[in-house]
Amino acid sequence: MNRLLDFLKGKWLGHPLHPILVHVPMAMWPGALIFDLLSKWQIGGNAMVRLSFCAIVFGLLASLLAVPAGVVDWSGIKKEKPAWKIGLYHMILNLLVALLFAINLGLRVQTFREATTVAGVPLLLSTLGTAFLIGSAYLGGMMTYTYGISVARMSKDKWRKIAEAGGANLPPE
């Protein structure tokens, strides 16, 4: 069990795994929306419909890897800290986004091979999913940049050495 937790925490990388994985759905799902819009504007025909379908699939697959890594990171936050609640909202939004794109995928599976434009409901789901995804990414960034979640996983001494090597102006110990 500890090996799995260490893997999900990214110890083998020397930094958290979750931020690496979330970039895939963060790119794929807005990309699907762009491909949907291009198909609606009669640009690219079936190629755009297929690209959107593939982007949704790839984003869903990557999210299956990102979720456990994120849950492990979140579980290390003390419940009384503000970042814990922000992490909860971040997780709920991400689950909603994944659900919207899973439904979206289900609505397309029968037609994506032939359709030249995406239907209205899948386009709406791509729009809503992308909007919620951006909101969730904001919360994830807030956890990292405002509250420092997963930033200082190394010891203070290691961080000082890294900062000194980078030429940082450090306060005395």
To which H or E segment does residue 11 belong? Answer: none
The structure tokens listed for 88 are 């909860």
Model pTM score: 0.84
Residues 86-92: what's their mean pLDDT? 96
Q: What is the mean pLDDT of the chain?
A: 90
- The more confident residue out of 17 and 45 is 45
Give the pLDDT band (50/70/90) at residue 113. Answer: very high
Instruction: Please spell the DSSP secondary structure of 39-97, one letter per residue.
Output: HHTTSSTHHHHHHHHHHHHHHHHHHHHHHHHHHHHHHTS-TTSHHHHHHHHHHHHHHHH
What is the predicted pLDDT for the residue at 170? 63
Residues 114-120: what's their mean pLDDT? 97
The structure tokens listed for 131 are 């909007």
SS3 8: helix
